[in-house]
A and B are shown apart, each in its own frame.
Chain A
Amino acid sequence: MSADDLRPNEDALHPDVQPASDESARGQDGQRLQHAEAASKPIRAPATREPQPRGAKIRGDRPIDQAEAAERFLAAPLHQKAHDERLWDVRKKRDVATQAIPEWEELRELASQIKTHTLSHLDEYLEQFEAAAKANGVHVHWAADGAEHNRIVHGILKDHGAKTLIKSKSMLTEECGFRHYMAANGIDIIETDLGERIQQLDDEEPSHVVMPAVHKTRIDVAEVFARTLGTDPTNDDAHYLAESQRMTTRPHILQADAGMTGCNFAIAETGTVVTCTNEGNADLSGNVPKLQIHSIGIEKLIPRVEHLGVFIRVLARSALGSTITQYTSHFRKPRAGSEMHMVLVDNGRSARLGMEEFWTSLKCIRCGACMNTCPVYRRSGGLSYGATYSGPIGLIIDPTFNKRKYSTLPFSSTMNGSCTNVCPVKINIHEQIFAWRKVLAEEHQIPLLKQGMMKAAGAVLSRPAAYRAAIGTADSALRALPRFAVYNPLNTWGKGREMPETPKQSFHSWYKQNRMKDGAK
């Protein structure tokens, strides 16, 4: 992309968010509603066809080039602008919701402490949860990793002769590559969250933990649905598209052999799995088929029911700026005549618990607030990270799964710290990004060019004479010392920005000339 392509042409880069026809649902008193993940004002990308930018190129274990994928996202200005505005709007809704609670910061602290307590006693709480669940008549399984999770679920399905499974959104099953595994084993998986369904039909990963298709415009969705569901390709009305999805998904829901949900919170005291959704699709998965399966990351444990009084209050406010999600569902025992399974999945979590600087990332409750506030994420799209978890939380979690493949991600940040401030469980996200950079550099997982530049910079900056020589004469500054700051072999600074002017003299030489005449130091 040339610099000209990045130039904000007012028409292209700042398309007016079009309020002309406001399609959002209205309330009983005629007021415009903005609950769930709804925008507080219409944020509609212009009805101009612009190919949807796709995510990072995955090449085995080779490091993800997030910057390259982000550049392609930026090259689709209609998508980028709508994405940025939409998520910023959610961030603002979050601010309003949290400002309305005087005890907000205290709630964050409580949520953090409950989580750190639980994680530091996780073995006890898992055993308590298991015992309670078994006493409730639930079948409890343990999976060491994603592959075992998939095998266990496949085994349960085989035992029941189940061929079709409806599921609600679960980042854990994304982590496990569940859909792909089941497809290869002849099991039909139907995602029932609208955003997740869009992504499934388009054969893309979710780009956001709460809003899986937030990177798509309605035109993209219309194209996907026309191709896969046979809808009218020229009709991009959001209501038409959502209704088409409802009508085509419902037969799957009614006929499914099994239902599956993820888990927002697992209560040790009662053996309960709690899910929070806006569509009610977790409740359909859990209440319609005869066989229900809940996949649970082991870090989801909380000790007691009363602790939901903290977490439910912070989750939707952080995620959406809503008081609560439309549905907060507590699954504890199987229904009469049905079978209920819970799969407790480790998949690297117990190992992460032993990482002194990074274990608190296990506190995460997947609200997505860090993504919404992240200025890099909003301008890159979630798929640019090439990983299950994108945005700030992804930067610190993904390398625990694969240090080489995700070695670049902690550098896709300005470390501005906004993520840390919005985190409802007070994960020091930006400090962990900083700490990851150190680990990756020490383990030589950063590019040689970058490390070489830093070594050279360190050599100059630790030797006063060499440093003064580098900046001392008028225009050598741009060539020599600040290679790390303004100039590298690719001149990436100058592509999008003007170079700074070189001053007549450095402060050093000014000081020497004006303040050291008397020989003072």
Chain B
Amino acid sequence: MTSRETTLAAIRANRPKGDFPLPALPAFAPLVGADLVEEFGERLKRMGGRIEKAGDPDPLAPVRQRLDCANVIASAVPEIMGNRDLAAVAKPADLEDVDVAVVRAAFGIAESGSVLFTERELIVNSVAYLAQHLIVLLDPAEIVDTVQAAYHRPEFADSAYAVLHTGPSATADIEGVLIHGAQGVRSLTVVLLQRKIKAA
């Protein structure tokens, strides 16, 4: 017998006695208030992320401000022209010199302050980890209230890779001291910016 058959046979032979039905999931009332943008921002900040409103008159001002001192900029959004073409990256490790990456989130979650990306938003997945800093554009209309609601979104079933980012890479493995930028990005800034142009 193969190990597959051995394992499955053992599981069948050892099936626990009793009836264990799969429970239906109730829809729990959201823990957040009606202002999802406010709630999202508060929770994101608690998780080490930063939040900025769109600039006025230039909506992209908060983004540009953060790009000023960056040498290598990889942009996965049409609003920003970077100087590293993600479509032309030969291998994921080549993005190791990126200072700032700009990406758009598929949606945000108010309960946790999270944003979701798939391979469609990132173009090259590694950019969200190898870059030193990450700027995330999020349409304030695209924030769901709860984690439970988020898992009813289609991205989890139709993408190769889907990831929730909640603030930057973090560790406190040394005496509980919180440090951002353990292995991934050192900062994550969400800029609330309406989705005007559909991403490719």
Verify that A and B bind, or say they do not. Answer: yes
Q: Are B173 and A272 in contact (CB under 8 A)?
A: no
Q: Are A25 and B179 in contact (CB under 8 A)?
A: yes
Among A44, A113, A123, A194, point to the contact of B11 (Cβ < 8 A).
A123
Q: Are A326 and B7 in contact (CB under 8 A)?
A: no
CB distance from A441 to the nearest CB of B (A): 24
Q: Are A326 and B45 in contact (CB under 8 A)?
A: no
A298 on the B face (CB < 8 A): yes
Max chain B CB contacts within 10 Å: which of A28, A281, A286?
A28
Among B11, B93, B128, B157, point to the contact of A126 (Cβ < 8 A).
B11
Among B3, B11, B126, point to the contact of A143 (Cβ < 8 A).
B3
Minimum CB distance partner of A111 in chain B: B23
Q: Are A281 and B182 in contact (CB under 8 A)?
A: yes
Q: Which of B54-62, B75-83, B163-171 contacts A (4 or more CB under 8 A)?
A: B163-171
Q: Which residues of A in the span 306-362 have a Cβ within 8 Å of any Cβ on B?
A: 306-310, 312-313, 322-335, 344, 346, 350-351, 353-354, 356, 359
Q: Which residues of B in the span 170-185 have a Cβ within 8 Å of any Cβ on A?
A: 170-185
Among B31, B148, B177, B180, point to the contact of A309 (Cβ < 8 A).
B148
A67 on the B face (CB < 8 A): no
Q: Are B176 and A43 in contact (CB under 8 A)?
A: yes
A246 CA to B46 CA, complexed, in Å? 24
A38 on the B face (CB < 8 A): yes
Q: Which residues of B in the span 7-59 have a Cβ within 8 Å of any Cβ on A?
A: 7-8, 10-18, 20-23, 25-26, 28-29, 31, 43, 45-51
A114 on the B face (CB < 8 A): yes
B105 on the A face (CB < 8 A): no
Q: Are A287 and B8 in contact (CB under 8 A)?
A: no
User: Which chain B residues lie closer than 8 Å to A404 at the CB level?
Assistant: none
Q: A25-B179, A194-B173 are in contact. Are A332 and B45 (CB under 8 A)?
A: no
Q: A123-B11, A287-B125, A330-B162 are in contact. Are A309 and B151 (CB under 8 A)?
A: yes
Q: Which residues of B in the span 92-126 have a Cβ within 8 Å of any Cβ on A?
A: 92-93, 96, 111-114, 119, 125-126
CB distance from A326 to the nearest CB of B (A): 5
User: Which chain B residues lie closer than 8 Å to A193 at the CB level?
Assistant: 173
CB distance from A217 to the nearest CB of B (A): 6
A234-267 near B? 1/0 per residue, CB < 8 Å: 0000110111001001100111000000000000
Interface residue range, chain A: 35 or more
B65 on the A face (CB < 8 A): no
Minimum CB distance partner of B168 in chain A: A326
Q: Are B163 and A327 in contact (CB under 8 A)?
A: yes
Q: Are B175 and A288 in contact (CB under 8 A)?
A: no
Q: Are A33 and B48 in contact (CB under 8 A)?
A: yes
User: Which chain B residues lie closer than 8 Å to A287 at the CB level?
Assistant: 92, 125-126, 129, 161
User: Which chain B residues lie closer than 8 Å to A211 at the CB level?
Assistant: 173
Q: Are A194 and B48 in contact (CB under 8 A)?
A: no
Q: Which residues of B in the span 132-174 have a Cβ within 8 Å of any Cβ on A?
A: 146-152, 156-157, 159-174
A86 on the B face (CB < 8 A): yes
Q: A119-B16, A281-B184, A306-B152 are in contact. Are A324 and B164 (CB under 8 A)?
A: yes
A26-43 near B? 1/0 per residue, CB < 8 Å: 011101011111110011
Q: Are B147 and A350 in contact (CB under 8 A)?
A: no
CB distance from B45 to the nearest CB of A (A): 5
Q: Are A346 and B7 in contact (CB under 8 A)?
A: yes
CB distance from B127 to the nearest CB of A (A): 9
User: Which chain B residues lie closer than 8 Å to A194 at the CB level?
Assistant: 171, 173-174, 182-183
Q: Are B7 and A142 in contact (CB under 8 A)?
A: yes
Q: Are A212 and B164 in contact (CB under 8 A)?
A: no
Q: Are A279 and B171 in contact (CB under 8 A)?
A: yes
Q: Are A354 and B178 in contact (CB under 8 A)?
A: no
Minimum CB distance partner of A328 in chain B: B164
Minimum CB distance partner of A168 in chain B: B183
Q: Are B175 and A44 in contact (CB under 8 A)?
A: yes
A36 CA to B169 CA, complexed, in Å? 9
CB distance from A340 to the nearest CB of B (A): 9
Q: Are A246 and B175 in contact (CB under 8 A)?
A: no
Q: Are A238 and B183 in contact (CB under 8 A)?
A: no
Q: A283-B163, A328-B163 are in contact. Are A249 and B183 (CB under 8 A)?
A: yes
**30 A–B pairs (Cβ distance < 8 Å), ordered by A:** A25-B179, A35-B167, A35-B170, A36-B172, A39-B176, A39-B177, A39-B178, A117-B22, A119-B16, A123-B8, A144-B7, A194-B173, A213-B173, A218-B174, A239-B179, A278-B171, A283-B125, A287-B92, A287-B125, A298-B11, A308-B156, A309-B146, A323-B43, A324-B166, A327-B166, A328-B166, A329-B161, A332-B161, A350-B7, A354-B10
A: residues with CB less than 8 A from B are: 23-25, 27-29, 31, 33-39, 42-45, 82, 86, 89, 100-103, 106, 110, 113-114, 116-123, 126-127, 136, 142-144, 148, 192-195, 198, 211-214, 216-218, 221, 238-239, 241-243, 246, 249-250, 253-255, 269-270, 272, 278-281, 283-284, 286-288, 290, 298, 303, 305-310, 312-313, 322-335, 344, 346, 350-351, 353-354, 356, 359
Pick the 6 closest A-B CB pairs, nearest first.
A280-B184, A354-B14, A39-B176, A333-B160, A350-B10, A38-B178
Instruction: A29-B45, A353-B14 are known; give 17 further A-B pairs, CB within 8 A.
Output: A33-B48, A39-B177, A43-B176, A120-B16, A123-B15, A142-B2, A142-B3, A270-B157, A287-B126, A287-B161, A312-B151, A329-B161, A332-B160, A335-B119, A335-B125, A350-B10, A354-B10
